[in-house]
Structure 1
Amino acid sequence: MSLADKLFLKYVDLTVFLFLSGCKNVLLSDFNFQEKRMSPIIIKTIQFFLSLSILIVLHELGHFIPAKYFKTRVEKFYLFFDVKFALFKKKIGETEYGIGWLPLGGYVKISGMIDESMDKEAMAEEPKEWEFRSKPAWQRLIIMLGGVTVNFVLAVIIFIGLAFTYGEQYISNDGLKDGVWVTDTNLGDALGIKTGDRFVAIDGKEVENLQTIPYELVYGEKFTIERDGNKIEKEVPVDFIETISANKENARFISQRSPFIINSVPKNSPNSTTGFEKGDALIEIEGNTVEYLDQVSPYLEENKGKTVNLVVKRNGTNVPLQAKISDEGKLGVTLGFDTMEEYAEKGYFKVETLNYTFLESIPAGWNKGVKTLTDYIKGMKKIFNPDTGAYKEVGGFAAIGGMFPDTWNWPAFWATTAFISIILAFMNILPIPALDGGHVMFLLYEMVTGRKPSDKFLEYAQITGFFILIALLLFANGNDLYKWLFK
């Protein structure tokens, strides 16, 4: 079989991932990554291939198991493509199992099926009882739906495991003392929001988790904020995805407002002898009342290289100090309380911690899977609207690899794998010939009308689907290449 034929095999669609880059930042926001001494590129690569291998094998099992159950012959079961040769292969019974050398996906070859292998000679013969084409339409439908079903179920199982093992921790939107901190004014101006605003709802749904707000806004249409006691309805600009894409380094542009609390003063700090103590809260700088980091930063910038008058609150007492501001606009101190609980005790924000029993983790995992899928569908709708500019963020292999963290962390790895599994489920069910969804579409037509599409029609449909997939692959990976070269 030629290289073109191999790439034309049925499950090349496993490599067709369309998504908005930046989603991963929100998806993985609940996990703290631990640094390991290994190249970030190597770590990402290992995670990518491990995740891809798991997803490919389980997706193909989703087709393989019902095919075998309905006594349909499966000629090959491969992880990766075996163009010209395989790294490993072994025939057990009627099926050859193997690992190819070209990591662009995987495939199962089912006898008597008009797939991308275009085995015209076999299809010209009389149907055999073990062939796919000889089976009732409902059995063929189950075989074709097996892959996407496994992908979705796998994602739900992973989410259940994460909920049961790690629970969930997030900053409560309701628990914010004085609204949010808009850390990037350009993105804030694009939405018409500013520091101090309180988010009430996005697309009519109450906002609970502060960390998901940027993500919800990317996919949302409308939102409600509270400012100075008044509720204001706003629309998310149609091109907001394009705006945030141009500011990816500031994609997390909404955060909690944190007080300027001194934690420690390094010995090499210009203020090592100023008199700062752990727990000091900066409340005044050059006569200006301050409390939060966002209020202090402009005054530090304004007084670079100067000595300024400060007032800190220490154990309920106001203590005046003089401090030096570096040429970079820094005081040279570390900030923050030692624990998140201290912020909650002082009333600045509240951290919600949810621990699940095994039974409780099941609906939690299911809801996470459903929400991930529906949010992804929202994103796809925006991709197909040219006005949003979202098509510019369609990514290929490099973007997929970039979804993984550059330090090893099992919760993050499994969360990313679950997300990609959801993507696979959705992409494969699209009604495009050569994808599972294309086969399902023709099978449903057959079941409704009682008429099976001709082999010649299916052959042409597969060719059409092939060119659609190739176009998508070229576009997605071309986007990756363009970003690498010019951005």
Structure 2
Amino acid sequence: MEIAIKLAQFLLSLSLLIILHELGHFIPAKIFKTKVEKFYLFFDVKFSLFKKKIGETVYGIGWLPLGGYVKIAGMIDESMDTDAMKLPPQPWEFRSKPAWQRLIIMLGGVTVNFILAVLIYIGMAYVYGETFIANKDVKDGIWVSNPVGEQLGFKNGDKILKVDGKEVANFDDVSYNTLFAKDVTIERGGEVKDVKLPVDLIDKMLDGKKVPLFLYRIPFAVGGFSDDSTNNGILEKGDIITSINGQPVKYYDEAAPIGENLKNQKVPATIIRDEKEKTVTLTYNKEGKIGVAPAITPLSNLERLGYYDVTRTQYGFFEAFPAGIKRSGEELTKYFTQLKAIFTPSTGAYKGVGGFYAIFDIFPNSWSWEAFWNITALLSIMLGVMNLLPIPALDGGHVMFLLYEMITGRKPGDKFMEYAQMAGFFILIALVLFANGNDIFKAFSK
């Protein structure tokens, strides 16, 4: 059932993005009286799941969910319909239109992608507002959740002051920003110091445990049990352990050092269950563990338990517009930062490039409209940026040649465009194979 929910969200998001992107080409083409022969969701290799001709356009759904397309008459595109290009140009064809009209048609898809992202973020600001823990409110410091963080010199309880010399307001951004930073300023025991970061930090993260570098510290709430745990039944999911063998435990990361001295022992522990304090006896194994996994405690519960102050901002209808536009700019900047890292081999970030499974996997197991719209907005930005890359098979490639024509007054020949389209297609296929190959490699290497 969980897979079905993830798949439903993935296909709905993908379909929405494809249809709106192609509408971005379709509408200006129609405005400029250019014939659109096909409008397809997904690719119709050999056959279609559905098709219907309305007017001069065939609308359909293909069976291969790797994208979609509009086939515009008189344009060399992925259909490689070279026979039609051998005939004399017709007034309704793309090639007969002025360069500025062709440019608007080609930029329509990515324009819609960016507008869609902005509209989604405006809507999210209005409906959901913002809820986060401010970095300044993480008063007891961080939990170094990834061993890579320990190797770099971070310790539980460190307070993050600055990342690359800049203060970060939202704690959720701290770990992310660190991935692309050169140094982090921390406070430890009243002393301020800098932690230098290696250029291949992302590579180290990809090779290790797939969790953030560090998180805000969480209570020792029981989220599950290992198969060999002898404490299943003594503890229940949702229990919060507050002391072990007389030693207070405020945070989950404090429990491991205590367990080091309690191997093969039974000890008393204090827990909170259903908001009531209770004493139980825990059994430690030979490794000094009790066989439980931590639970992710909702922000509202962390606030209620007195761990953190949660910052909440609600936006009115008109306030949501600047908030959504600001969020769009921030996410766009983040994506360009990621691309820069990917195209810098020394970072190793290219190893993390994923294909369709990676996109599918970011959707949650349970239906969440907030998560759905957030992911869809991010994918819309990604789709817009990727389509602007100057690769002939993409919108950006066509835009590149159109700008050349507008600047020089010389139009590239049909034969040249045909070869360029083929080269771009092979480059695109290589990128798709690389991304999805990464998915397969990561699946087998788990």
Q: Give the Å deviation of 1:66.
A: 0.7
Q: Give distance in 1, aligned partners of 2:62 and 2:202.
A: 38
Alignment of 1:459 with 2:421, yes or no, is no
The answer as to whether partners of 1:180 and 1:255 remain within 8 angstroms in 2 is: yes
Alignment of 1:400 with 2:365, yes or no, is no
Equivalent runs, 1:308-347 vs 2, <5 Å: 308=267, 324-327=282-285, 344=303
Q: 1:76 to 1:193 in 2, by over 3 A?
A: same
1:255 counterpart (215, 228, 235): 215
Q: Give the Å deviation of 1:187.
A: 1.7
Structure 1 counterpart of 2:420, which letter?
Answer: A
Alignment of 1:163 with 2:122, yes or no, is no
Q: Give distance in 1, aligned partners of 2:107 and 2:52.
A: 27
What is residue 188 of structure 1 aligned with on the other side? Answer: 149
Q: 1:398 to 1:333 in 2, by over 3 A?
A: closer
Q: SS of the residue aligned with 1:304?
A: coil
Alignment of 1:179 with 2:138, yes or no, is no
Q: Give distance in 1, aligned partners of 2:436 and 2:295.
A: 42
Equivalent runs, 1:89-104 vs 2, <5 Å: 89-104=51-66
Q: Give the Å deviation of 1:420.
A: 1.1
Q: Deviations over 1:337-356 (max 9, x none)?
A: 99856755776422111111
Q: Give the Å deviation of 1:217.
A: 1.8
Structure 1 counterpart of 2:193, which letter?
Answer: I
Equivalent runs, 1:193-342 vs 2, <5 Å: 193-249=154-210, 251-258=211-218, 281-282=242-243, 285=245, 291-308=250-267, 324-327=282-285
Q: 1:334 to 1:123 in 2, by over 3 A?
A: closer
Structure 1 counterpart of 2:380, which letter?
Answer: S
Q: SS of the residue aligned with 1:116?
A: coil
Q: Which has the higher contact order (CA 8 A, sep 6+)?
A: 1
Q: Give distance in 2, aligned partners of 1:164 and 1:394.
A: 32
Q: Deviations over 1:415-456 (max 9, x none)?
A: 111111111011100011111000111111111112111222
Q: Give the Å deviation of 1:67.
A: 0.7
Structure 1 counterpart of 2:114, which letter?
Answer: F
The answer as to whether partners of 1:270 and 1:331 remain within 8 angstroms in 2 is: no
Q: SS of the residue aligned with 1:67?
A: helix
Q: Give the Å deviation of 1:87.
A: 1.8
Structure 1 counterpart of 2:415, which letter?
Answer: K
The answer as to whether partners of 1:175 and 1:348 remain within 8 angstroms in 2 is: no
The answer as to whether partners of 2:139 and 2:159 remain within 8 angstroms in 1 is: no
The answer as to whether partners of 1:190 and 1:237 remain within 8 angstroms in 2 is: no
The answer as to whether partners of 2:241 and 2:269 remain within 8 angstroms in 1 is: no
Q: Give the Å deviation of 1:233.
A: 3.1
Q: Give the Å deviation of 1:116.
A: 2.5
Q: SS of the residue aligned with 1:358?
A: coil
What is residue 109 of structure 2 aligned with on the other side? Answer: 147
The answer as to whether partners of 2:220 and 2:240 remain within 8 angstroms in 1 is: no
Q: Give distance in 1, aligned partners of 2:444 and 2:299.
A: 41
Q: Give distance in 2, aligned partners of 1:379 and 1:47.
A: 24
Alignment of 1:71 with 2:30, yes or no, is no
Q: How many residues align?
A: 432
The answer as to whether partners of 1:337 and 1:343 remain within 8 angstroms in 2 is: no
Alignment of 1:52 with 2:14, yes or no, is yes
Deviates more, 1:339-348 or 1:166-175: 339-348
Structure 1 counterpart of 2:150, which letter?
Answer: D
Q: SS of the residue aligned with 1:174?
A: helix
Structure 2 counterpart of 1:199, which letter?
Answer: I
Structure 1 residue runs of 5 or longer lacking an equivalent are: 1-37, 273-277, 314-318
1:382 counterpart (341, 365, 383): 341
Q: Give the Å deviation of 1:469.
A: 0.6
Q: Give the Å deviation of 1:310.
A: 7.4
Q: Give the Å deviation of 1:93.
A: 1.4
The answer as to whether partners of 1:279 and 1:337 remain within 8 angstroms in 2 is: no
TM-score by length of 1: 0.80
Q: Give distance in 1, aligned partners of 2:63 and 2:69.
A: 13
What's the RMSD between the two structures over aligned residues? Answer: 3.3
The answer as to whether partners of 1:203 and 1:223 remain within 8 angstroms in 2 is: yes
Structure 2 counterpart of 1:116, which letter?
Answer: E
Q: 1:310 to 1:126 in 2, by over 3 A?
A: closer
Q: Give distance in 1, aligned partners of 2:335 and 2:37.
A: 34
Structure 2 counterpart of 1:252, which letter?
Answer: P
Q: Give distance in 2, aligned partners of 1:46 and 1:268.
A: 35
Q: 1:333 to 1:42 in 2, by over 3 A?
A: closer
Structure 2 counterpart of 1:112, which letter?
Answer: G
Q: SS of the residue aligned with 1:206?
A: coil
Q: 1:301 to 1:109 in 2, by over 3 A?
A: same
Q: Deviations over 1:308-330 (max 9, x none)?
A: 477999xxxxx9x8954443856
